[in-house]
Amino acid sequence: MYRYDEFDARIVKDRVEQFRGQVNRRLSGELLEDEFKPLRLQNGVYLQLHAYMLRVAIPYGQLNGAKLRRLAEVSTKYDRGYGHFTTRQNIQYNWVGLKGIPDALNDLAEVEMHAIQTSGNCIRNVTSDHFAGAAADEVMDPRPWCEIIRQWSTFHPEFAFLPRKFKFAVTAAAADRAAIAVHDIGLRIVKRGEAVGFEVYVGGGQGRTPLLAVLVNDFVPEAELLDYLEAIMRVYNRHGRRDNKYKARIKILVQELGPEEFTRQVEAEYAAQHPHEKIDLPQAEIDRIHAYFAPPAFDAEDGTAAFEAAKAAEPDFAQWAEVNLHPHKQAGHASVTVSLKPIGGAAGDATDRQMEIVAGLAERYAYDDIRVSHAQNLVLPHVPVKHLYAVWQALDAAGLATPNESLITDLIVCPGLDYCNLANARSIPVGQAVQKVFADPKYQREIGRLHINISGCINACGHHHVGHIGILGVDRKGEEFYQISLGGRADEKAAIGAIAGPALKGEDVPGAVKRIVDTYMSLRTSPDELFIDTLERVGADPFKEALYAAA
């Protein structure tokens, strides 16, 4: 993974001191709350329903043992002993005091972490494939370019006060696990012969106007990437709407101009760049950053026999291995999903003790590499097959081995009205109630891959638009209702789900989901036909009928 050099370390340290000064000026009254707000937001500090919330950046979701252990310590020392992993692969602490935040940031800086630009109208944490560097289907590891983008976008002086927040996602794999189509800029790394370049998609997003990104350029050579991104950002900064925050994202600019005109403006701005304006990243720097992401020295021992024996002896392990492992490009290895979705839990939450356990497992068995997935789980990307049983035992003992990766109980759920001051409805209890209907692991496996995403308001932090089944909390005269949508997906066939009909009461949601699933089970041609494929084949009508049948 990337390691800070003296420059990176100094920038983060300077940031801690700058923010300490800003907090002191706020506490002394020199800064008005109105003036402080955008400053604290650019450092991930929100004022939530009950307390300040601190969001810490986990660039492209990568951690190691020392970092995760420090995240655990921060939760013990400054919060209530747990953290919440988010769909942007970050972590949030929900109960921190403003005064303690500069010290927490200082503790994080010691392990090369920060909260820079985790909120505010600026370029946010760059997200990526949680199996990057491990997946068999990637053309290259996308993390070096994520890191290059991270550095370029950190304290970019021109793009700190954009019309609205701005999110990048990068993938390099055939299967899109980074949801690039629903990002402000989505990048797919491709190769033409030996030449590396980027497909550049712009203007995707969720929220109240869900839109898929449009292809603006099908091959930007790697050496020109940052200059091309500057051109896009400048067009947006100058022309994005600022009169209405709900129309301020770049997706609205792309739609209002039309994709052709938007692309023309970007190309014109790009063509106008003088040679002295070019970033001209030295090849030595590109190589330096790539070198940090060299694969670990993989263990050559073939542990398959022991793995198979353990599966035969321990059905729970076999079941977990069937669901929570992902194929690895290196023989004798697998990527492990550490489920943060126990039945009846809060999606994405981990206690300090759980974080410490995962940190220890990574160090002991998994080349000290840990990821956060945008589906709010943790991942050990490189685990020798011979260690899988030991890893599972430790995870199981810590409540981290729920066998549900990408199954119906692996829900994406925003914090909702239990924490968030934007929410209209609670998300967590609805998610828990749905999970309970499908708690039986065997039943979940029979159903197969099915993504349910829940948001407590139209801002769509729970990605309901791209859930195979989406659930959106709405407020109707002070009462919580839930709107169901069908057919969304966040992968390489990205689609926005269509609303199925009138909203339901919270207590009716689990039954409604059950009827949708029953309908699927009765209509599918074989167990290999996934819910989303059956839906595509037969259309939404039978599901809508079932949804409202007994409600």
Question: Is the Cα torsion angle 151, 152, 154, 157 positive or negative in sign?
Answer: positive
Instruction: Report which DSSP code applies to 462.
Output: T
Interaction of residue 281 with other proteins, rule CB under 8 A: yes
Interaction of residue 272 with other proteins, rule CB under 8 A: yes
Nearer to other proteins, 284 or 550 (CB): 284
Which single residue is written with the structure tokens 């979701």?
61
Interaction of residue 290 with other proteins, rule CB under 8 A: no
Tokens at residue 525, please?
């041609």
List the one residue from 27, 110, 137, 161 that touches other proteins (CB under 8 A): 161
Q: Which stretch binds other proteins (CB under 8 A): 16-24, 126-134, 174-182, 423-431?
A: 16-24
Interaction of residue 237 with other proteins, rule CB under 8 A: yes
Tokens at residue 440, please?
């039986």
**Continuous H helices in 274-341:** 283-291, 304-313, 315-324
Which single residue is written with the structure tokens 């291995």?
321
Q: Taking a C-beta distance cutoff of 8 angstroms, is the pair 86, 375 a contact?
A: no
Q: Which stretch binds other proteins (CB under 8 A): 281-289, 311-319, 394-402, 448-456?
A: 281-289
Q: What is the DSSP string of 17-50?
A: HHHHHHHHHHHTTSS-HHHHHHHHHTTTEEE-SS
Dihedral through CA 368, CA 381, CA 123, CA 231, nearest 10? 120
Interaction of residue 242 with other proteins, rule CB under 8 A: yes
Which single residue is written with the structure tokens 């006060």?
161
Instruction: Report which DSSP code applies to 222.
Output: G
State the minimum distance, in angstroms, from the CB of residue 420 to other proteins: 22
Interaction of residue 243 with other proteins, rule CB under 8 A: no
Q: Which stretch binds other proteins (CB under 8 A): 62-70, 272-280, 327-335, 346-354?
A: 272-280
Nearer to other proteins, 161 or 246 (CB): 161
Nearer to other proteins, 163 or 342 (CB): 163
State the minimum distance, in angstroms, from the CB of residue 160 to other proteins: 5
State the minimum distance, in angstroms, from the CB of residue 9 to other proteins: 10
Q: What is the DSSP string of 329-383?
A: SSTTEEEEEE----TTS-TTEEEHHHHHHHHHHHHHHSTT-EEE-TTS-EEEEEE
State the minimum distance, in angstroms, from the CB of residue 117 to other proteins: 12
State the minimum distance, in angstroms, from the CB of residue 237 to other proteins: 5
Interaction of residue 522 with other proteins, rule CB under 8 A: no
Q: Which stretch binds other proteins (CB under 8 A): 80-88, 156-164, 324-332, 441-449?
A: 156-164
Question: For residues 316 and 409, what is the distance between their CA atoms, to the nearest angstrom?
Answer: 17
Interaction of residue 17 with other proteins, rule CB under 8 A: yes
Interaction of residue 246 with other proteins, rule CB under 8 A: no
Interaction of residue 110 with other proteins, rule CB under 8 A: no
Nearer to other proteins, 149 or 428 (CB): 149
* Coil/strand/helix, residue 149: helix
Q: Taking a C-beta distance cutoff of 8 angstroms, is the pair 488, 470 a contact?
A: yes
Tokens at residue 320, please?
């977990």
* Coil/strand/helix, residue 198: strand
* Coil/strand/helix, residue 342: coil
State the minimum distance, in angstroms, from the CB of residue 434 to other proteins: 39
Nearer to other proteins, 129 or 230 (CB): 230
Backbone angles phi, psi at 168, to 5 degrees: -105, 145
Question: For residues 360 and 75, what is the distance between their CA atoms, to the nearest angstrom?
Answer: 17
Interaction of residue 125 with other proteins, rule CB under 8 A: no
Interaction of residue 284 with other proteins, rule CB under 8 A: yes
* Coil/strand/helix, residue 349: strand
Question: Binding residues for other proteins, per CB under 8 A?
Answer: 5, 7-8, 10-11, 14-15, 17-18, 22, 35, 38-39, 121, 151-152, 154-163, 234, 237-238, 242, 272-274, 276-277, 279, 281-282, 284-285, 288
